[in-house]
Structure 1
Amino acid sequence: MAEILSHIKLNMDEGLLKKLCDYQETFWLNPDYGKNSLSTSEVNKETVFRANRLLERFAPYLETVFPETKVSKGIIESPIQEIQNIKEYLSIPGRVLIKRDDLMPVSGSIKSRGGIYEVLVFAEKLAAQNGFNPDTDDYRDLAQDRFKKIFGQWKIEVASTGNLGLSVGLMASTLGFKARVHMSHDATQWKINKLRQNGVEVVIYNDNFSNSVTMARAASEKDDHSYFVDDEGSKILFAGYATAGERVKQQISDLGIEVSKEKPLVVYLPAGVGGSPSGVAFGLKIQFGDSVLPIFVEPTHMPSVLLGMASGLNHDISVYDVGIDGKTAADGLAVGRPSLIAGKYMRNKLFGIATVSDEHMFAFQGMLKKLENIEAEPSAVVGIRGLLASQKIKTIPSQATHMIWSTGGSMVPRATMDQYERNALNYFARWQA
């Protein structure tokens, strides 16, 4: 602990640290943004290209087992729509879009791409070891009992605050794997219920997310037939998230939107452990280069990626180390220690990070419902805070296109969503006043 505090004192801006510890909303401009191009043999353009092709190979299977994907022919992706009312209400120049990952098929969140992809990578490997030829065989055959018996010999495990657990658990159980999701004490009850209803074992730890991951990883390592999806450091998971870039580029083109350095695409991504927004940002950078400006948004009580990147300690520091309490209603973002790879891969690719109070998060949820009739989880709307903060950044051109990334909400039970919205509309009314 003494080493961490000493490092912070020498390497982190004192004023920024005070704002974080006082739970003040702030915006951090990444001083390393754009300095050098990222070069890594672990995840690169070719890695992400292969990830997209694997998902295309599995599309016939996914269309078979998840009828809701028939309209997209088995491709799991979400729509983009304009939110003109919010643009006008907030007086934002340029176009304002929302990426509706709350409508993602199968598990209804940004985690769908990465979680489903990693399970499919492992399933394809096992199938190939047992007579399946990926080059010639029909992927719909993987729904047959003979493959379910093979998959059933293995357990797929993951630690999650909720949405990653849903994507991994639902995909694994559909293929025939045993599935176990390890969750921290702040996990939402309806997500726990949803998993158990689909035959997924759920283990609850009376601890924070970071410690829950450590315990879950240790439990998996004791089982020779357990495969652990590691939200803190999986390169496969990261590549799955990055597949969003290729799809978004096509969607932006279909909308007739020009993206250039003079007219950049500014994207606002909610961040918890940082893996999924980092993967998405990485994929967008592959497609748009310097013409996309990724911005993360975190709760004021859980600014883990900001603290990690601004201090240079990345995964080696937790918000709890500096006295931040980690208390937030944004369950999907309730992660005190950032990913092992988020800071490393985003060092020169992340434009900045904004923080948002829970009160404003609820107000933005009410704003989205009131003005656009869009329902989302509280943590999925924090991108609006990034949108507002970016208007004060002089280096962002007025001709920019802005895209809020909504990360979850369609699977929330109706009674829970009604309760969310009553609360959110009250906060929005106060915010307007």
Structure 2
Amino acid sequence: MTIIVFTQKEIIEWQSQYPILKEIIELRPVFWMNPNLTKMDEAISLPLTRKDIEDAELRWQRFAPFLERTFPETSATNGVIESPLKEISQMKNKHLTEMDGKFYLKCDHELPVAGSIKARGGFYEVLQYAEKLAIESGMLRNDEDYEVFLTDRFKSFFNQYSIGVGSTGNLGLSIGIISAKLGFNVSVYMSMDAKQWKKDLLRKNGAEVLEFEGDFSEAIKAGREATVKNPKGYFIDDEDSKHLFLGYSTAALRLEKQLKAKDITVDADHPLFVYLPCGVGGSPGGITFGLKQVLGDHVHCFFAEPTHSPSVLIGLVTGELDNISVQDFGIDNRTEADGLAVGRPSRFATVVSDQLTSGIYTLEDDELYRQLAYLADTEEIYLEPSAAAGLIGPKQIYRYAEENNIKLSHANHIAWATGGSLVPEKDMQMFYNKGKNLK
């Protein structure tokens, strides 16, 4: 990664063109509405379609028997990696008293095995790669039960291949766990932001962990370079991956069923607002793409980024997308929200988000801790700091609703909780105590 670091004159010129940059550079929380927001039937050059999402869901179904046998914690869902949708009325009633409509938590912190949203993208990309290798080698027939992936024959075959990934934590955790179970040699290149317990858990599950003093972009660059040198190496690129994106997008098909089960309608009179923590932008971008394809234009998706790591915000505000980083503007990319500590956005996802994201807001680390403590006190649900970023979403969107003539009286709101269930108890207690002390 090349860090440009603009001169003061250049920064002033940028701010003149995009006034919100001044507040962003000063690390102040901001709310930005996307002027490029486009209706689904008018969006141009989208790299994927609903058919791609449906094909990805079929792949999940084919692998369900393997997942159920490999991970007993998925037996209740017959091998489906999915999380519940829970109403958090006590959180709303105590801390969002002016909010219209109902408030829900999409509990991806409860996703089995990996305990975070990254199980959707990370697991999916590894599974599609394993399937591709097995089919191309002639080891897998079209009509075969995917429990064959459990056999020593398949594990020996995959042991010839290596998988690499750069990560701040949760993506590496998901990819490391599933790759090792299949038999791949897996290396996770982790940035300085990654928590020690995540590194320890990866090693326990059979992954190699390589640690870097730099941030996410440096870790991913090193991982990419090392992996591609191996003719049988496969690098999972969080900055530019169609398959990660597709794995996240299938969440929309599952959420549609959960909404129907709760008699939640999504239309002009019942808009749906979704608040998604954002790092490199792959998971919120994929989910937004899926929701727009499945539920249409009456779902409004907002990304939430730390004030010190507003990479997608800067990319979209300037129109430079992945060609620009937070460090270029002198922003340090240091945040307690390790999964969101990203200086440069995803090349693949940001092109899509530029058209489909309704807006982005930023928040300070202290607010993350406050919100996770509020949620624990009201709902007895515990999240890691980055996963709490969506909880203030309903407070942000009043101007957006007013300017777009959206009635909020019958709105529904979903904060996407992206991780936390695998956090060691002592670490979670530390998060909670910090939040309580900040109230």
TM range (shorter): over 0.9
2:205 corresponds to 1:198 = yes
Note if 1:402 corresponds to 2:406. Answer: no
Q: 1:384 Cα shift?
A: 1.5
Contact 1:63 1:70 in 2 (8 A): yes
Corresponding residue SS for 1:348: helix
Is 1:420 aligned to 2:424, yes or no? no
Cα separation, 1, equivalents of 2:277 and 2:12: 25
- Tell me the distance in 2 between the aligned counterparts of 1:272 and 1:69: 27
1:12 CA displacement? 6.9
Cα distance in 1 for partners of 2:46, 2:346 equals 19
Shift of 1:261: 2.1
Aligned with 2:52 (options 41, 44, 47): 47
| Contact 2:5–2:329 (8 Å) recurs in 1 | no
The offset of 1:40, in angstroms, is 4.0
Over 3 Å counting, the alpha-carbon distance change for 1:195 and 1:260 in structure 2 is: same
Distance across 2 between alignment mates of 1:205 and 1:391: 42
Aligned sequence identity (%): 43
What secondary structure is seen at the aligned counterpart in 1 of 2:296? helix
1: CA distance between counterparts of 2:424 and 2:382? 12
C-alpha contact 1:305 1:342 (8 A) present in aligned 2: no
Q: Gaps (5+ residues) in structure 1?
A: none
Find the partner of 2:311 among 290, 304, 307. Answer: 304
List per-residue Cα deviations over 1:83-129 (Å, max 9, x = no partner): 00112121221110000000001101111111101100111111113
Given that residues 18 and 318 in structure 2 are in contact (C-alpha distance below 8 angstroms), is that contact kept between their aligned partners in structure 1? no
Mark the CA change 1:2 to 1:361 in structure 2 (over 3 Å): closer, same or farther. Answer: closer
TM superposition shift of 1:41: 6.7
Q: In structure 2, do the counterparts of structure 1 residues 80 and 277 end up closer, same or farther at CA, with 3 Å as the change threshold?
A: same
Partner of 1:388: 395
1:118 and 1:229 in contact (8 A); partners too: yes
> Which moved further from structure 2: 39-48 or 159-168?
39-48
Task: Report the equivalent of 1:59.
Answer: 64
TM-score by length of 1: 0.95
Provide the residue aligned with 1:32 in structure 2: 36
Whether 1:321 and 2:328 are equivalent positions in the alignment is yes
- 2:183 corresponding residue in structure 1: 176
Matched with 1:223 is 230
Q: Helix, strand or coil for the counterpart of 2:256? A: helix
Contact 1:8/1:311 (CA < 8 Å) preserved in 2?
Answer: no
Structure 2 SS opposite 1:227: strand
Pair 264,180 (structure 1): closer, same or farther in 2 beyond 3 Å: same
1:13-412 maps to which residues of 2 (within 5 A)? 13-34=17-38, 37-40=42-45, 42-89=47-94, 90-91=96-97, 92-393=99-400, 394=402, 395=404, 396-398=406-408, 399-412=410-423
Q: Residues 34 and 8 from structure 1, CA distance in 2 versus in 1: closer, same or farther, beyond 3 angstroms? A: farther
| Residues 138-176 of structure 1: CA deviation (Å, up to 9, x unaligned) | 110110000000011111110010010011110000111
> What amino acid does structure 2 have at the position aligned with 1:115?
G
The whole-number CA distance in structure 1 between the counterparts of 2:315 and 2:12 is 10
CA distance in structure 2 between the partners assigned to 1:247 and 1:120 by the alignment = 19
Cα distance between partner residues in 2 of 1:29 and 1:9 = 21
Shift of 1:324: 1.1
2:322–2:344 CA contact under 8 A, matched in 1: yes
**Counterparts of 1:39 and 1:47 in 2: how far apart (Å)?**
16
Q: Distance in 1 between matches of 2:254 and 2:432?
A: 31
- Matched to 2:370, the amino acid is A
Normalised TM-score (structure 2): 0.94
RMSD: 1.7
| Contact 1:11–1:311 (CA under 8 A) maintained in structure 2 | no
Spell out structure 1 runs of 4+ moving beyond 6 A: 2-5
Distance 1:353 1:133 in 2: 44
1:153 is aligned with what amino acid? Q
Encode CA deviations 1:258-316: one digit per residue, 9 max, x unaligned.
Answer: 11022111000000001111001111111111011000000011111000000000101
Paired letter, 2:218? N
Task: Structure 2 unaligned segments of length 5 or more: list them.
Answer: none
Mark the CA change 1:12 to 1:375 in structure 2 (over 3 Å): closer, same or farther. Answer: farther
d(CA) in 1 for partners of 2:244 and 2:15?
31
* SS of residue matched to 2:127: helix
Report how far residue 420 of structure 1 moved.
1.3
The answer on whether the counterparts of 2:335 and 2:341 sit within 8 Å (CA) in structure 1 is: yes
